[in-house]
Structure 1
Amino acid sequence: MILNRLEVRGLRILRHVRMDPVPGLNLIHGVNGAGKTSLLEAIHLLSTGHSFRTRQLNPLLAPDCDVVEVVARLLPRESGKAFPVGIRKSRDATMARIRGETARSLADLARLLPLQVMHPESHLMVSGGPGYRRAFLDWGCFHHDPDYHALWRRYRHLLSQRNAALRDRSPARLLSAWDSALGEAGRALDQARASHLDALLPYLDTLKRDLPETAELRLEYRRGWPAEASLTETLGQTLQRDRSAGFTQVGPHRAELICRLQERPVAQVASRGQQKSVVLLLKMAQSLWMAETLGHPPVVMVDDLPAELDASHRGWLMECLQGLGAQVFVTAIESDQVPLSGWGCWQMFHVEHGTLRVGD
């Protein structure tokens, strides 16, 4: 899908902004605090129901506003007419609409508008906790398999029920029933993640040739329980330990994707800039995988492109994005910080005090 109309109301400094993006590169520039990142937050809100900076509503609300609203038109890449989508969030409710009808869930919006986001805090994907890296794998699984989201929700529900039973000191017979169902769902979740990582490896190997600092990058996937046993068996073996802790300590919710450079975790040996290079590598590999495997690239958003990326890395990323054929949104303080060479379709937008205008 391509965004060909975006309207934002009540989001931070953006009281009412309309944008008509082009299918190629959309370069948004302006001073700090002008509203550049807020535009990207609006697109992320439309796709996922939350900002990439916060999951809370209050920080997003413009002064004296109780509602955030983002409406857009999406244009299918292959053929067809543009159609409306939108999301409205208040302190009491979230409502999403697709083609004039209420969406069944926010997942329906996410499927229509897959996003890859790179921003100044993206280094947390390799330096933060395992949840960041599980989310990276889950993103790919979600867009590859229409049933993955339901599987993920089922696993989370079963896990919550088992944890409640542990805290309530329920009998072993009842816990055994949870173990069987949780083990089956967990096995399917793990297989999907492992398969997705395997599918990304060829793209990573190709991209690493142009980023020497990532040449020695190695990825190790740990599923969250011992390899020699099924999850159901392991849950039975760890029952007493789980009772003492009050929660389930094994399973795909404890899975980890370990990123190593020089045989050590990236967070321990890499600078912030090198960590960001690894993140760019992973996200570009996943974007290329989507374009080739599913037939369409995600929409890519890069917030503050020059942050911690030198001119060489900025050029590499922009060249990769050209080859990807994606609709791209890039923010920067100065427009000349973003390489435009080779882009046949691009548009510049200037943001100032929450207002948007086309051009330099």
Structure 2
Amino acid sequence: MARNGGLRAPIWLPLALAGDPEMKNRVNLKSSVLSVWPLSLPYLRGMVCTGFITIMACTAGPGSAAMANDNHPDPVNAYDLSLTILADQEAFPQSYQVNGHASGALYDLLHDFSKLQQIDMTFQNLPLKRALEDSHNNPAGFIGIPGDTKTGAFILSDGISTTSLHAITLKQRDLVIKRPADLDGLQVSMARGLQLHGQLARHRDEGRFDVTWFNSIRQSIALLLAGRVDVALIYCGYAQKASLKQVTHLTDDEIAALSIHRTPLMNTINRLALPASPVNARLIRHFNSYLARQRSNGALEKLYAQYLTDENTIEMVLSDTLVPSDTRISTP
């Protein structure tokens, strides 16, 4: 596992995805990957939210990547990355349809992120109930998906509650996790207050894997990028739209704004989300302050109209809130 000096591919996966009803069984977003920036753990403190999603991010393969002087990935050091996202389409067909975006806000966010970070991302609609039935393996633990060995995707269930997951797997190094025992000896990050049941809880209580507690989705992903943990477990609940608000601290209108004006705004959001650093911590504060001001003075609706007609609006708006050195926005 790459720890000191090892670079990880940046990922921002705050929630599982409820896909577009019109979307085919799979949508492939093609690309390759690149690097991350150094992590500064002290800036992870103070980011508090309760996670309700289960994310399994399994990273692989030695390899390094670098950013060129123009803030773009160095293609010489880039390496391939593949990500599979399973969405419970039957259970939540309308979950993330925000502001008329048929494919949903999260689909838009992940779509843009995959292009920006050059990730080969596959979206697959797979009803959770059917996956559990087809697995012939209802006990708690990791439940494989028959016929899907190519992606190595899996579903994690605690065997008791109905708040199992939409599985997300990220293969960046040789780490295969298909059952609770595969966590033995690994460093696992878990949200504070996360309740596990069944085999997973027993393995945790027996000390089969070490637990690092985190306070926010950003912190869990930052820990992954820094090589401090091998796997992040973030629980999934019924109220996924509510979870999105709690995880990202955004309102419906603000989420809609992200989805309306994806390209420049998401480039900025990606910088804010990962990793934690002095610059990004400052950007997060500026951006949160900006959203709070727009919400309090009633200007958000007016800004939406501008977003729809002016591709450069958000850059100008953000430039009013950020110091000059922070306003540079990289493009895919």
Q: Greater helix percent: which structure?
A: 1
Structure of larger gyration radius: 1
Q: Greater strand percent: which structure?
A: 1
Whether TM exceeds 0.5 here: the answer is no
TM-score with structure 2 length normalisation?
A: 0.26
